[in-house]
Structure 1
Amino acid sequence: MPKIVTKPRWTPPEPSHPIGTLLPGSAETSKLEEQVRARLTAAGVQLHDERLGIQCGFDEARNRYPVLTPDFLILDAKVCIEIDPANIHADRVDQDKVRNALLAAAGWRVVRLRLGSLEAIGEWDVVSDSGTLTVAAVPALVEAIGDAVAGRPGVVRTVKGKPAAPRKKSRLGAIREDEYKFGVHTVRWTLDDGEVLDLAVVDNGRYLGRVMKSEFPRYVRPLDLRDIPKDDWRKALEPLFEGMEPSEFEPVSTFPWGDSLFIGPQAGTIYLKDKFSPFGPGEVLTTNLEGVHEYNAAAIQGADHAVLAELHAEAIALGWEIESVSLESGRNGEYQRVVLSRKGFEA
């Protein structure tokens, strides 16, 4: 078995590709994006045919190097276009600003079409009063793209028009993929008394989670959506939520199997961050186990091979394993640094 050795302090890994590298992106698109693509193409704007991701720099808040996939990329120019309908982006201002900053740091200019009178967050933004694509918005967007391609200073363009007619708002909010939490789609549900719950469909439909601030969603109940296309999730979730009492939305545990990633007599000394994702690629933990002597892929043991802490069987089933255990020295003395990885992870 590997012995415990002292290793240098951990630093964030380098990105998988050089900053700014174009990579295959998600092929998913919306009818609105298809409309915008057709209008821009008809206006002579040359776009990449496929959706491409851009390798961005280090996101300190999320402790990772994200690959961001804008809605469109301009051919032969480092200009990307984002389409922001109000029903999705009204509560994503901070997230979209971070996205702009990461793309800018990678050398890309961002042009956004902000629908439904969303406030501008970038210098080349086009703000439309209408909640849908209008004829008047297209030339304004083409002009903004031209400025960005030429490197001219941006000017926010406003397209006046008749606001979208009011309609009865669904109690189920937009379902969108969380760019920073693997396997998570966030959604909001409004209770009868008006309280809005932040929920999550986790592991691509395996279970329902409750979003608790910045933590990874906590387990609420199982779902049966993994074999259902994402476009049909609303049809399944709305009647399900309608039949649930408010108390049934409260989280039951941290993970589907309970609250612990590790079990064993000293498992409680292993510090697990609130943001830990059971579906992520890996994690670095710290602990103060007593009598540590050796480890294997599943357990940390003492000199007599007695298990001090071992991964829960359900965590092992998800592919988690112990990659290394090393001794470190900190301000308060020595501790162990445990590196975990997950076999079969796919971003």
Structure 2
Amino acid sequence: MSYMEFKPLVKKVNMKPKGIVEIVLETSISDLQGKIEPLSSMIDRRAEASLDSLVVNYNVTINTKTNKPVIEYKVDDTGIVQEVKSEGEQLEAELGLPKEKIPTKEEQVEADRSVIDDFIREGFAPEFYDTPYDIRNIIQRKLDGETYMKIASELGLSSGRIVELVDRYYTRIAPLAMKWDEWRKSKAELKKTEESKPVDQNDDATEEHAENQDSAEDDKAEGCDDSDEQEASAAPTEQPEEDPKEGTDGGETQDVAAAAIDKEKLEAFILSGQAPAFEGITFDFPDLLRRKKDGETWIELAKGLGVSSGKLQTEWREYKKLVTEHLSQLNSDGEQGAA
């Protein structure tokens, strides 16, 4: 017995005399690698066949005045697809006006089913409550290798009914999946562009300059920007020739300790979880720094928090300043105890 699977193109369906139907399939040699001989042995023999279309056709309603789809979609930063109301619909809803009747036409669009399957696999496909069955789960089981016949038997349905429900679901989510695919491709292209940047490019400095140019003077006045820290860490550590005189507050010793704290040591201390919480610091910077080390940018982190990157980085510099002072105090206390 011979068995094989391949993905052919249906070329012709010929109606012949005596109720015979001739189906012509076309595929590539690579798709039949190692299958030519078994397939040839099946000529003039009966075989069981099952064809499942890899193209999903769906209709898009077009506004003939604007030549744009009546229903449009947008994708948020997490990949969730949502329907976007036109400005006219929003205004009608806000003012309670009757909907304007617009001239429309239907256009048929083809979608690659593999894109919709990815949309379902990744967990972005919506669930509709007007169907009594979990169609997403049925499709996932089919993608994992189960047959419609087996699934239909478990649900007490005919395989034809299962196929009908699946086809209807594919058609319904196709426009969402295509919009999601655009978002996926643009995100991959952006990542590719970022990875192609020179290795020695200072991404942090570029982002901070672009996002905080307006607040640069204030940052310098506060003495807490990265350039000040780098200059401080690069400066030679001067040891006092003699102990502070009686009555001093040890400020010179604390300044020396602060100068000895470089950027790597500061970040390692923050990531260790030993840094205390400070009043006025609203973000979890140990976690944010960990995510930034894993490849996220300040802009992406800020979007996830729903704030501007300028606000986030301003508080980050204030947080680093407070941690630096805390470490300086620890170093100062340690030196005094050792003395």
Do both proteins adopt the same fold according to a TM-score greater than 0.5, normalized to the shorter chain? Answer: no
Q: Which has the larger radius of gyration?
A: 2
TM-score normalized with structure 2 length:
0.24
The structure where helix makes up a greater share of residues is 2
Q: TM-score, normalised by structure 1?
A: 0.24
Structure with greater strand percent: 1
